[in-house]
Structures are given as structure tokens and as C-alpha cells.
A and B are shown apart, each in its own frame.
Chain A
Amino acid sequence: MKKNININLFGTLYNIDEDAYNLLENYLNSMQRYFNRQEGGEEIADDIEHRVAELLWKKREAGMTAVDINVVKEIIDTIGSAEDIAGDNNKAENAFASYNKRESGKQDGTFKEDFKQFAKEAERFTRDTYDRGREHVRSHRYYRCADDKVLGGVCSGLATYFEAGSPLIWRLGAIALTLLGFGLPPIIYIVMWLITPAALTPEDRLRQQGRDVTPNNLAEQVKCDSEPVVVQNENKGCLKAILITIAICCVLPLIFIFVIWGRIIFDLFSF
């Protein structure tokens, strides 16, 4: 059994399942936010809403009684697939990479040539790494993960940003650093918690993953967000307890360090 909502779309009433309603609302909202940044955007969003109404009407004419989530997904698939600029760029990059590979595959016998080849490759590797790093910084934006967190979602945010490791590994790393770092990591953690935003909207989550905010990607993300997430909750409570214990333990050494620094500075100036 599912909770059912009545919606009025341009004068026609539809019965819509609650999950389908949430998905549809999310989709229309994100379309609105996306197009709002360009001229005449409000009207475009309105056109799309009309199109949704039109497609729903057709479905009803074909015998649909209540709008379920699959109908909404189908509609998003129909309308949402706009241009995928990111895809085009990737293709060009891949072609370049395969050309590079072919070039570097050419072999020369002499040691000098080998060394030259090695130097060239090392240079290319450095340049590639630098370019990739710069590209990564350009395309990705750091957000805390609002939906996968133990304390503030800083660690899962880092895992997403760097596209490396699971949040759990970052959390364990943070704990290890805290134990080694005499109280500085928790301060960094708290500062990051305070100054970085949490990923709340589908747009945030796209930027967090370094994907372009296009209608197509947005539609995909909105659909993806609507899927029930299997959250591994079992070790979060335990982690939280460990973290809080560590945080308390760290306050003591920290005070100790400040006292020592205070003494040193005091001694220096008392000459």
C-alpha cells in the first residue's frame, strides 16, 4: 500500500504516489534552478512543466489510473536527455590518449634513445598529472556529504572529492592522524565542518563529483537520489563513540601544549 497525493496540473487532477510525487517535484525544481540562470529560463521551465502535464495526460488517456514512480522516470527519460557536453569532451580526450600511447610504443634500440624516451615519458607523466590535477580542481567542488556522515560528513566529502577510498578509510585515517597529531586534526575537522557547505541539492552533488550541471546529468542525479540507498549503519555508532572519546582526550594534550607554549613565550619575554 502506498500513500497517494492529489496534484493539480494546469486544471487536471492526478493521483500520484508519494515517492513519484517527490521525484517529479525534485526534477521540476532542479530544471527550474538550471534554466533560471539563463535568459527566459522561467518560461523554459514552464514549457517543460506543460510537457510533463501533456505526457501525463496521454498516459491517462491510455488507461493509467494513478501515477507511479516508473511513469515519472519514463517522463524524465523522455524530456531530460539534453545535450551531454561532458561526454563530447571525454571522447576528444580519449582519442588523444590513444594517440599518445601509439607514439610511445615506438621502440628504439640504443641506450641514449631509451633514456630520451624515458625522459620524454617522465615529462609527459608529470605534465599529465599536473593537468589532471588542475582539471580536477577546476571541475570538482568540495562539499560535505549530508547523507553519509558520522559527525559532519567531512570525511565522506573528502572521499567523494578525491574519488579515492571509501569514507570509512578516510575516517580511520582521520582518527589515526588525530592520535599522531596531538589535537590538530580535530581542529581542522571542526573548521572544515564550519566553513564548507553540505551537499544538499542535486546540483551540489553533481559539482561534488565533478560532473557538469546539464539537464541530462541533473535528471540522472535526481533519479539516482530517489533510489533507496543501502546505508551501512552498523559501524557508524561505534565510530562516533570513538571519535568523541578521542576528541575529549585531545582537549587535554592541547591545553597542555598551550600551557607549554605559553611558558616558553613567557620565558622568552621575561629576559
Chain B
Amino acid sequence: MNTDNTKSQMRKGMLEYCIMLLLRQQPCYANDIIQRLHEAEMIVMEGTLYPLLSRLKRDGLLGYEWRESTQGPPRKYYVLTDDGHKALAQLDASWEEIQRTVYFLKNEK
């Protein structure tokens, strides 16, 4: 069985949650997000990131502000909105659920 497709589906489903997680701590711009995901060994193609960020913003989970930078072009810093925090709490809960399910099934005798 070829697991590539399943793996990429899993990653796709996780990506949204991961991005919101890393925005929980501090506002980030695209470069930070890419770097943090890279550090966390989450393999992601950059091209998929921008449509995702744009959708989260349209859904009201993210906001952004422009900040001038002395190191290059102006940067768009994304922040988690109140709705975003609420949604993230729900995702936390459902992640716990998934973990429990997998743990249960793995250790079932």
C-alpha cells in the first residue's frame, strides 16, 4: 500500500492547527511561520501557506498588521483574534481526542 497520499492528507489536516498554535505565542510574519514550521520538522510547501492564511483571515480567526522593517520589505504580522483563540481551544480538545483514540487503538489487546 502506498502511504504517501495518506501521509500528505494527515499533514494537510494538521497544518491549520499547527499555524494557529505557533501564532498563539506571538504574532508572526510569513518568514517566521515558515522557519518555525521548518524547525518543528513540519514539511510544508510555501505555496500552500498563503491561501491557508488568507482563508483563516477571512474566517475571522486571524488578523494582521503591517510593520515596517529595516531588514527588507514591510512585513505582514499575523495575530490570532479572539475568535481564533476560541477556535484554537476547540482544536486543542479535538486533538486530545484524536490522540486518545490512536493511543487506545494502538494499545488494544
Residue A193 interfacial (CB < 8 Å): no
Residue A40 interfacial (CB < 8 Å): yes
For B75, what are the chain A residues with a Cβ–Cβ distance below 8 Å? 50, 54
C-alpha spacing A215/B45, complex, angstroms = 11
Residue A2 interfacial (CB < 8 Å): no
For A22, what are the chain B residues with a Cβ–Cβ distance below 8 Å? none
C-alpha spacing A9/B73, complex, angstroms = 8
Q: Are A50 and B47 in contact (CB under 8 A)?
A: no
Query: What distance in Å separates the Cβ of A140 from its nearest Cβ neighbour in chain B?
Result: 25
Q: Are A79 and B53 in contact (CB under 8 A)?
A: no
C-alpha spacing A83/B57, complex, angstroms = 21
Q: Residues 33-68 of chain A: 1 if any B CB is under 8 Å from the residue's CB, otherwise 0?
A: 001001110011001101101100110010000000
Q: Are B47 and A80 in contact (CB under 8 A)?
A: yes
Residue B25 interfacial (CB < 8 Å): no
Q: Are B51 and A11 in contact (CB under 8 A)?
A: no
Residue B109 interfacial (CB < 8 Å): no
Q: Are A81 and B45 in contact (CB under 8 A)?
A: yes
Residue A6 interfacial (CB < 8 Å): no
A96-137: which residues lie under 8 A (CB-CB) from chain B? Answer: none
For B55, what are the chain A residues with a Cβ–Cβ distance below 8 Å? 40
For B71, what are the chain A residues with a Cβ–Cβ distance below 8 Å? 57, 61
Q: Closest A residue to B58 by CB, please name it.
A: A40
For B53, what are the chain A residues with a Cβ–Cβ distance below 8 Å? 47
For B57, what are the chain A residues with a Cβ–Cβ distance below 8 Å? 40
Q: What are 16 A-to-B residue pairs whose CB atoms are below 8 Å? A: A43-B54, A44-B51, A47-B53, A48-B47, A48-B50, A50-B75, A50-B76, A53-B72, A53-B73, A54-B75, A58-B72, A80-B47, A81-B45, A82-B47, A88-B8, A215-B47
